Amino acid sequence: MSAQIIDGKELAKTMREEIAEEVKKLADQGVVPGLGVVLVGEDPASKSYVTAKEKACEKAGIYSDDNRLPADASEEELLALVDRMNEDPKIHGILVQLPLPKHIDEEKVLLRIKPEKDVDGFHPFNVGRMMLGQKAFLPCTPHGVIQMLLRSGVQTKGAHAVIVGRSNIVGKPLANLLLQKAEGRNCTVTVCHSATKDMGELTRQADILIAAAGKPEMITADMVKDGAVVIDVGVNRVEDSSKKKGYRLVGDVDFEAIKEKASLITPVPGGVGPMTITMLLYNTLESAKNHMNGSSK
Ligand code: GUN
């Protein structure tokens, strides 16, 4: 059996059109949603994510305040920029691209972003509310994965979802969301990580397998059950001298082999990535709506 490919680009396009329509309606009422973006340093992968985010904002009619700081920028400089964006009424969402250079305290920076502008959903206030199932900004990649499952008609209720990876950005929040008693969630959840014994034994039990470990093609076909839904969150650059750029992008799963076993699978690129950016636009729009309705959240 060859899997059906979940086309993240197409799903994202549909959602972005829906968002752009709402942005226009809001703008007609005098509120243009705005996103403040900060990139510190020159990391090539971060640069290309940030550029993609800024382009997507422009296309959706969202105002984007783009900021680049050098790799040796001080923590104070970054905090001052966050403070400025916290107070700027044109900005409804703030995104500080991670990871930050080692000399900057990431936790301190994330705590400085006002929770009502935290469209990444990384502030402990939003993490706590999400955990409790309360209204909160949901982190973009996990939320994008949930939307993909929902919009692809995957039966999640009672399904065994196995997540590989326990990062604060993807694995942990995704486990929490999939656990919640709601449409497109309601799974039994297992989280695997670097200390997991016999990972294959667990991943082979997955009805929905989500790879978010950041290790190129670590999920091999023998680790996947026939007919599983496979979501690949990994984006890894591997050297490839046959490519003009000298590298190619691969996910955390061995796509070519696993597509012969899975029922549904996401490609890399063109899978989860475009959905992550879409959910950022969604959160920025939500924040602007909250602002217009005078709600603090
Ligand atoms: N680095 C990798 N993913 C993300 C993300 O979703 N948001 C931010 N701010 N940084 C990231």
Q: Where in the chain is the domain with CATH 3.40.50.720?
A: 140-273
Name which residue sits closest to atom 1 of ligand 1, judged by CA.
98
Closest listed residue to residue 230, CA positions, set 198, 202, 270, 262? 262
Give the atom of ligand 1 at the shortest distance from the alpha carbon of 120.
7
Spatial distance between the Cα atoms of 51 and 177, rounded to a whole number of angstroms: 28
Q: Where in the chain is the domain with CATH 3.40.50.10860?
A: 29-114
What would the mean pLDDT of 129-138 be, rounded to a whole number? Answer: 97
Asked whether residue 297 carries a pLDDT value surpassing 60, the answer given is: no
CATH architecture of 140-273: 3-Layer(aba) Sandwich (3.40)
What would the mean pLDDT of 140-162 be, rounded to a whole number? Answer: 98
Cβ pair 183, 150 in contact under 8 A: yes
Asked whether residue 1 carries a pLDDT value surpassing 90, the answer given is: no
Q: How far is the CA of 4 from the centre of ligand 1 (A)?
A: 28
Q: How far is the CA of 184 from the centre of ligand 1 (A)?
A: 23
Name which residue sits closest to atom 8 of ligand 1, judged by CA.
97
Position 295 confidence tier, pLDDT thresholds 50, 70, 90: low
Residues 6+ apart with CB under 8 A from 180: 133, 186
Measured from CB, residues less than 6 Å from any atom of ligand 1 are: 95-98, 120, 140-141, 169, 276
Give the atom of ligand 1 at the shortest distance from the alpha carbon of 95.
9
Residue 294 confidence (pLDDT): 85
Q: Are strands 247-250 and 236-239 parallel, antiparallel or unpaired?
A: antiparallel
Residue 228 confidence (pLDDT): 98
Give the atom of ligand 1 at the shortest distance from the alpha carbon of 280.
6
Name which residue sits closest to atom 2 of ligand 1, judged by CA.
98
**Topology at the third CATH level for domain 29-114:** Rossmann fold (3.40.50)
Residues designated as active site: 53, 97, 120
Residue 15 DSSP SS3: helix
Spatial distance between the Cα atoms of 8 and 144, rounded to a whole number of angstroms: 9
The pLDDT tens digits for 108-124 are 999 999 999 999 999 99
The pLDDT tens digits for 23-44 are 999 999 999 999 999 999 999 9
The pLDDT tens digits for 263-293 are 999 999 999 999 999 999 999 999 999 998 8
- pTM here is 0.96
Mean pLDDT of the chain: 97
Residues 6+ apart with CB under 8 A from 281: 16, 19, 56, 57, 60, 62
Asked whether residue 296 carries a pLDDT value surpassing 90, the answer given is: no
Residues 6+ apart with CB under 8 A from 102: none
Q: How far is the CA of 183 from the centre of ligand 1 (A)?
A: 26
Q: Which two tokens stand for residue 246?
A: 């000298």
Give the atom of ligand 1 at the shortest distance from the alpha carbon of 46.
1
The pLDDT tens digits for 37-88 are 999 999 999 999 999 999 999 999 999 999 999 999 999 999 999 999 999 9
The pLDDT tens digits for 183-228 are 999 999 999 999 999 999 999 999 999 999 999 999 999 999 999 9
Q: How many helices (H) and strands (E) does the chain have?
A: 10, 11
Q: How far is the CA of 120 from the centre of ligand 1 (A)?
A: 7
Position 21 confidence tier, pLDDT thresholds 50, 70, 90: very high
Q: How far is the CA of 62 from the centre of ligand 1 (A)?
A: 19
